[in-house]
Amino acid sequence: MLRKNTTPGKLIIVEGIDGSGKSTQIGLLYKWLQTQGYSVYFSEWNSSDLVKSTTKRAKKRRYFTPTTFSILLCTDFADRWENQILPLLKAGAIVLADRYAFTAFGRDVARGVDREWVRNLYSFAMQPDIALFFRVPLEVTIQRITSTRSKIKYYEAGMDLNLSESRIDSFKLFQRRILSEYNNMVDEFDFTVIDGTLSVQVQQRLVRKIVKRELEGWKGLAIPEYNLSPFKQNKINHEKEVP
């Protein structure tokens, strides 16, 4: 269990295995919320500047064990949580996150770390107001990934687990484990399940309906008048303080 969101902001996240179409959906949601006049910001998994160089090096040199992989990604999340997500929520903004703690609960447990241990690791984070889980059968996502990407990366394929010599077989086995973890989280973390095999437009219509219901009667952070262009990209602006 994650603690409740007690801030005036709204946290909306998407989860799903690789190729489930969640990034497409949250991208469309983001643009829609902007045109609706909301203060909306977007945070991406594994994107902290502070941690990036370490993750990159460790991946390249294959330094990771399941435990260090798990803690380092949580470090990345913590930096974004403390310096972007939480301050924005406190200010009353809508924060959209492409992947959240649940990605770690899926992948890290699939890698073999203890379920309770990784849940404790992320216990500083809050339960999202909406957690959308895009459920797609494994055969479909595998097909989507293998047809659009030339090569699946080492850790992405779970090659560190020695499941198979073949990268594609390893990827399938790894994704199957992750999907099974996700399915177990539906009740635990109150996921709203979206059928990811539906067309993009139908899915987006469902997503907007769910979000609209959540935002009914809610007044978030106002946008200064001069900032009201619907075409402006709201990049998270975080100035690092230098004492």
Partner 1 sequence: MSKPIFYGAGFPYREIGDLPGKLIVLEGSDGVGRSTQIKLLRHWLEDEGYAVSDTGLRRSEMTQRGLEDARKGHTLSRITMSLFYATDFADRLENQIIPALQAGFIVLSDRYFYSIMARDIIRGADPDWAHKIYGFALKPDLILYLKADVTHLVSRLIHGRGLNYWEAGMDIHPLYNLYDSFVEYQSELILLFNQLSKDYGFITIDAGRPVKQVFPDLQSQIMGLLEDFQSTLDEDE
Q: Which residues pair with 134 in a beta bridge?
A: 194
CA distances from 120 to 2, 32, 105 (A): 9, 35, 10
Q: Considering only residues 11 through 50, tell me which ones interact with partner 1, judged by CB under 8 A.
A: 48, 50
Burial 212-234 (b: 16+ CB within 10 A, else e): eeebeeeebbebeeeeeeeeeeb
By C-beta, is 82 or 195 nearer to partner 1? 82
Give the side-chain half-sphere CA count within 13 A for 230.
8
Integer Cα distance of 128 and 92 in angstroms = 14
Distance of CA 74 to the CA centre of its chain: 12
Integer Cα distance of 198 and 204 in angstroms = 10
Stretch that binds partner 1, among 14-22, 94-102, 113-121, 206-214 (CB under 8 A): 113-121
Does position 74 bind partner 1 by CB under 8 A?
yes
Does position 82 bind partner 1 by CB under 8 A?
yes
Pick one of 2, 17, 34, 79: the residue that binds partner 1 (CB under 8 A). 79
By C-beta, is 37 or 112 nearer to partner 1? 112
Stretch that binds partner 1, among 7-15, 117-125, 176-184, 221-229 (CB under 8 A): 117-125
Pick one of 5, 44, 47, 71: the residue that binds partner 1 (CB under 8 A). 71
CB 109 within 8 Å of CB 181: yes
Does position 96 bind partner 1 by CB under 8 A?
no
Does position 3 bind partner 1 by CB under 8 A?
no
Residue 167: count of CB within 10 angstroms of its CB = 16
Number of residues that bind partner 1 (CB under 8 A): 36
Does position 107 bind partner 1 by CB under 8 A?
no
Residue 50: count of CB within 10 angstroms of its CB = 13
In whole angstroms, the minimum distance from the beta carbon of 108 to partner 1 comes to 10
In whole angstroms, the minimum distance from the beta carbon of 87 to partner 1 comes to 10
Positions that interact with partner 1 (CB under 8 A)? 48, 50-51, 53-54, 57-58, 63-68, 71-72, 74-75, 78-79, 81-83, 111-114, 116-117, 120-121, 123-124, 240-243
